[in-house]
Structures are given as structure tokens and as C-alpha cells.
Amino acid sequence: MNNFRKIFFLFSVLSGLANFSYAQDTKLNFKLLQLSQSENAAQTPIAVLIKGDVNYLREELPRIGGTFKFAAGNIISATVPADRIVALSLDPHVFRMEEGRLNLQPMNDKMLINNKIDKVQNGISPLTQGYNGSGVIVGVIDTGIDISHPDFKDSLGNTRILWVWDHVLGTAPNAPQPYNYGQQFSAADINAGLASATDDIGAHGTHVTGIATSNGNTNIVFKGAAPKADIIAVKLNFNQADNAWLGSVADAVKYIFDKADSLNKPCVINISAGTYYGSHDGRDLAAQTIDNLITAQNGRSLVAAAGNAGNIAHHLQHLHASGGDTLLTWFYNTASPIYIELWADTADFKNIKVAIGADVTTPNIKSVAQKPFIGITGNVGVLKNDSIISNTGHRLATYQTYGQLIGNKYSFIYYINPDSAFDYFRLMSKGSGKFDVWSFDMINTGIPAPGFYPNIANYVYPDYNQTICSSFQCSDKVITTGQYVNRNNFIDYNGNMQTFPLTEGELAASSSKGPTRDGRNKPDITSTGEYTLSALPTSAQAWFIANQPYKLAFDGKHIRDGGTSSAAPAVAGSIALYFQMNPNASWLDVKNRITLCAATDLFTGSSLPNNDWGFGKLDAFTLMTGCSASGVNELNNLSFDIFPNPANSILQISNANISKNISVSIYNCTGAIVYSGILDVNNKTIETAALAPGLYLLKLTSGDVSGTKKILIQH
């Protein structure tokens, strides 16, 4: 020990640290000074950050019983015995010291805080207790689950997963009945090590399950929304056609609800998966099957991710006025089968005719083939085979057509197999009416000017509307979830700050948007998506540490991800909390609470519901405490009051700056308008006797100014 060290060490001992003061700028923060003088300080190691001479401190710290962890510039992370803190601060090689044991929650706490889930878990008044999902089942239908992850085990090391049904594993005697495919494993199987064949190779399902249900066993900062809920996981087989895949999803929903029923527990299911193809009206059989399962009894709810194609132009609508021009849209020739499916209500398609052709773009754009226009008449229920022949007599492709009448809508399909090299397929239509198409092969860039290709004046570009997933995501019974930005930075596995050019709270660009094909608002709600940190499968941890450590949290057991896949389980976990409080709640009560108690802010605006945000942002606290009479989370540029609220048969509007008649709309939880009219400036009352009991959204509009209030109807 050199003379200086001897002097300041002796001084620190003799002073007894009683009323220590500095003659220079203060180097210690209050917490460090307090810890150093604690009665039980002694040799207790204190985590500190020290700004100073790195090389000197690297050697000095071990001599005084401390540890040097790492340096970032001239700041080091270290531990120092509590009774050496003040003495070390006197060393001229130390410029500043701060206590490093701050109660930080830099990961999933963003998700918990932004969705107000932390208030529910902590039992903030008027709640009389904290809620954690105890007694509730959360079902997750996804890519699987890491059954070995500590976040899904209890304090004794036993699994919280009641059942796993793996669709990918070959059929065996343990296949669940009556489905008779895949394999299922019970909690006893998992605890006994008999379910080791199942895993989540893609990491997606484990991440999603962690957001909904992680108990923070690995680290409390990764706690999910419902940390005490039981878990049932179904691993889907994604290597199937859409129709078979949707059928397996319906099987999975039935399987989970039946397991929950056998235990007499309420259940919420999360599905962060979907298809962008189909009718987009929620009336396909898979969607109707899931609807029937949800509504079969109380204590059931289902949440689904809206999709992540909001910034991809993959929707198309050909809209014809009577006698209008022939419209066209190009599709890439990808040298693989092209699937073009047209959807329309029967009244909108019966006077439409369509045709396909082929074009080249070099040296100039020109048509090399054209098929005749055909209508739906004569093509319903008939599979036809044909070929596209070029103007010079060469076969360019074979194709099939097939028309379907499904209830009140038509579907018409072109399935094209190219066998020659050319650039574009051309879809053309004429007549009167309209139809919709969803495809990722449509051309929306590099379109020539009219001078080079006169017909381009009638070109219909794919758009960014109706980018939501199809089937059950479009159901009124399903709570479909969009996403907003949860966080734009985090500390990775190597201790580096990862940042993203995003604004926290804004709608994520990729969040899929509505409406449904039949014009209903979707999504229903938005929640935290990009970026959320949650569980990573144990089997994948070594690979990510070696190859992509920048995606991992500091512990290497959790990974960042985003999208509506991450937003939906935050909603599902919140519903688990609500079911803990109200285990017999109906799907409609849950959806009413989620949508009409949503939060609004400057990002969402006040013109809600809409097809970006739905009813706004998830607010788990108002979900639990009620919102209709509290007036919370309302954003208005047209101010008014309502009385009484709850209402019976009459609703009175007051304190409104209304000088002329204003339009009135009342929405139910599905986004449907159940009342519309004009508010009489002299009377200012609304008849509500015809409305069923429940939560609604009242909206007053005057030009581009509007205001909303949540109302509760009780008869």
C-alpha cells in the first residue's frame, strides 16, 4: 500500500465516518454515503459505478476487497465493500461514485406499466387486492413452448403447464381424442421428463407465453401479465394448407376450452398466428366454429393478433360504376404457382366479368396473351382447367378456375402454374360492382406513365387498407389486437444499449389495419408490441449468445420481439386477471370492458373506434375497475357531459357548446352502430330504452370536430 493509500485509509478508520464532509466537489451520491455509514455495512459488497482512472482502479479494487466488472469509457462497473466506500472516494483517481443497485426494471416492466397491468398486480385502490391470474387458465396456440424454462415453473421447480398438445409430432398412443393426431403431455409427464420431444424451435410461442404468464423466476423484471395463471399450450403445424391449418386451430380452441371445463376454471386463449388469405368477414367455417366455442358458456374469451402487414400493400379492390372502364392490376410471375382469390358479396359480383393475361416489360410493355372475360354464372361449383397461350402459339401457363357461393358472398379463384418466362400476369375486370383480393404478388411500383402504356390510366394499385388477418381475426367474438411501440431501447447481453428509431406510444407501422371486408371496425384494441422482452427457449440460448447477442436481454434467457404477436398476449394476460375477479364473466362482458374502457391519448386521437387503433390502448386497470362513470381516458375536441351514467331509458347531454344540431352515434363493443340520430339543441336527450344492458361508446360529431364518452346502460 503506498503512502497516500495508508493516509486516507487511516483517516477513514479514525474518523468513524461520523459526520463526514468534503472540502471538494461531492463525489458520492446520497445513497452511497448512507450505505457506507449503515450500522451493518462492514464488508458488505455494494454495486457501484465509478468514473475515474480505469487502469488504476482495475488494480486497486481487488486490493481493498472490491471487484472490477467492466469499463465503458472512463466509467467502470464494480463492487466495493461498504466500509471502504468513503475512503475510496478520497482517492484523486476517482472522480465520481454512484450506487449501482437501483431498483431498475428495464425489460417487461414497460409492457406492464404501459398497459396499466402493474396497478392491477399491486392492487391499487379502488381494487381491494392484487391480481395475478390465480385460478385461471391461459391457453396459447402457437409454435410451441419451452417446457424447461424457469418462468413456467413454480417455486418448487414443478411445471405450471397443465397440458401440451404438439401437432407436429407423429401420431402416437398419447394423441388426444377425438382428434387422433399429434401427441399430448400432462403436467405429470413434463415433471417426469417424458415430454422432452416437444420444444419451441422457432422461439415465438415461448416468447408469447412469457408475456402473458411469466412468473419472473429467472428475473423478476421479466414478469408477465398473469404470473400465477395455469398454462395449456398447443403447438401448431404450420406446414399445412390454410384450410387444414384453420381446422387445426379450431381443434386447438376446443381442446383447451374442454381441458379448462374439466377443471372448472375460466380460460382465455391467445392466438398470435393467422392467415392473410380468405374472405376477411369472419364467416368462414373455422371462424364460426371458434365463435360457437367462445359463446358456448361463460368464463371464456379469445384474443388474436391482428397481423403485421400494415405497411405492406397487399389488398386490392376493383370498384366499377355501371358501364365503367376496364380495370387492370399486375401480378408478379414468380415461376411458382400464383393464387388469386376474388371475394365479393353476391350483389356486388353478379355483374362483374374478369379475365387474365400475360405481359412482358422489355423492351416495351406489351400484351403477349389474353384470355376471354368470364363471369360467375356457370362457374359456381365447377373446377375448370385451361392454358394461357401466347400470341405466337406458345403455352405460358396452365391454370384452374373455381367459383363458390358461400352464404351471401362469392369466391372466385385463379390458380396459375407458369411454365414460361415472362414478367407479369394481368388481372382485368369490367362491368358494375366490386370485389376484393389479398395477395403479396401484386405490383405497386415501377408502373409506367400513360405515354408509354395508355391502359395504365385504368391501373388499380394495391393499397394498405384491410391488411388485417382473415378468418377468426375478423370475428365479432374475438378480441383482435393491434400494436403500438412499447420501447425503443434496451441493454443487450453484452451490456450494450440497443436503440431503435421509433417513438414510444405511437402506432407501429406494421400493425395490420381494418376494416373487415363487410365494413366492420378492426382491430378492437391495441397493446404493446415493438419491442417487448420475454422468454427465450433454453435450446436456443447458446445459438443466440454466439450469433445474435444484440437481440438478448442481459441474462441471455430472454429475447426481444415485437409485432401484434407480442401485443395480443398482454391483452390475454389482462383478461386472465379479470377472470380471476369475475370467473363467470361472459365473452361479451370481457369485450365490453376491454374496448369501452380503453385508454386514449394524443397518439390515438379522439375519433374512435377506427381501423388503426380500434377503441384505443389496453388499460388493464380500468378493465378491472370499470370506466363508464369515471370519465377517465377520454379525449375530446368537442366537450360535453352526460347524465345519468349509468343510464336507464333517457340520457341527457349537458354543458355542451352546441349551437346547431349535431349527429349522434352509439357503438357497441363490436364496433357496430346501434343508435344514430341528430341531437336536438333544444332538448338534448337521447332515448336509450331500446339498448340492451352493457357498455357503449357515445360519439357526438359536428363537421370535423367530435367527442366521445363511455356510457353504461342498466335497465
Give the sign of the dihedral formed by CA 127, CA 128, CA 130, CA 131.
negative
The full set of domains in the chain, from first to last, is: 3-99 (3.30.70.80), 109-310+469-593 (3.40.50.200), 315-458 (2.60.120), 636-713 (2.60.40.3080)
**Count of CA atoms in the C-beta half-sphere (13 A) of 472:** 32
Alpha-carbon distance of 423 to 421, in angstroms, equals 7
Scanning 359-482, the segments in alpha helix (DSSP H) are: none
CA dihedral defined by 629, 631, 637, 640, rounded to 10 degrees?
40
- Using omega within 30 degrees of 0 as the cis cutoff, is the peptide bond preceding 337 cis? no
Residue whose C-alpha is closest to residue 282's, from 17, 579, 458, 518: 518
What are 380's three cell numbers? 359456381
Alpha-carbon distance of 594 to 526, in angstroms, equals 10
What is the per-residue pLDDT for 15?
32
Contact (Cβ atoms closer than 8 angstroms) between residue 227 and residue 262: no
For residue 567, give every residue at least 6 positions away whose Cβ sits within 8 Å of its Cβ, in sequence order, or none: 305, 481, 482, 483, 484, 511, 526, 527, 528, 529
339 by Cβ neighbours in 10 Å (0-12 / 13-18 / 19+) ranks as: middle
Alpha-carbon distance of 220 to 132, in angstroms, equals 14
For residue 259, give every residue at least 6 positions away whose Cβ sits within 8 Å of its Cβ, in sequence order, or none: 137, 162, 163, 232
What is the per-residue pLDDT for 683?
75
What is the per-residue pLDDT for 334?
85
Contact (Cβ atoms closer than 8 angstroms) between residue 57 and residue 78: yes
What is the per-residue pLDDT for 693?
81
Per-residue pLDDT reduced to its tens digit, 599-622: 999 999 878 889 999 999 999 999
What backbone torsions phi and psi does residue 247 show, to the nearest 5 degrees? -65, -40
What is the per-residue pLDDT for 116?
93
3-class SS string, 109-124: HHHHHHCCHHHHHCCC
With a cut of 70, list the residues of the chain below it in pLDDT: 1-26, 29-31, 34, 37-43, 99-109, 241-243, 323, 627-638, 655-660, 669-671, 704
What are 417's three cell numbers? 402454374
Alpha-carbon distance of 427 to 429, in angstroms, equals 7
User: How far does the chain reach from its first CA to its final CA, in angstroms?
Assistant: 84
What is the per-residue pLDDT for 456?
86
Alpha-carbon distance of 614 to 604, in angstroms, equals 9
pTM for the full predicted model: 0.77
What is the per-residue pLDDT for 658?
60
Residue whose C-alpha is closest to residue 501's, from 511, 509, 491: 509
Q: List the beta strands (DSSP E) in 442-495.
A: 479-484, 489-491
**Angle, nearest 10°, between helix axes 285-295 and 242-262?**
10
Q: What percent of the chain has pLDDT over 70?
A: 89
DSSP label at residue 25: S
What is the per-residue pLDDT for 228?
97
Contact (Cβ atoms closer than 8 angstroms) between residue 591 and residue 479: yes
3-class SS string, 601-659: CCCCCCCCCECCCECCECCHHHHHHCCCCCCCCCCCCCCCEEECCCECCEEEEECCCCC
What is the per-residue pLDDT for 6?
32
Taking the CB of residue 713, how many other CB atoms lie within 10 A of it?
A: 21
Q: Cell match 421428463: residue?
A: 193
DSSP label at residue 159: B
CA dihedral defined by 237, 242, 247, 250, rounded to 10 degrees?
80
- Using omega within 30 degrees of 0 as the cis cutoff, is the peptide bond preceding 537 cis? no
For residue 50, give every residue at least 6 positions away whose Cβ sits within 8 Å of its Cβ, in sequence order, or none: 57, 75, 76, 78, 94, 96, 97
Contact (Cβ atoms closer than 8 angstroms) between residue 258 and residue 297: no
Residue whose C-alpha is closest to residue 582's, from 303, 301, 302, 305: 301
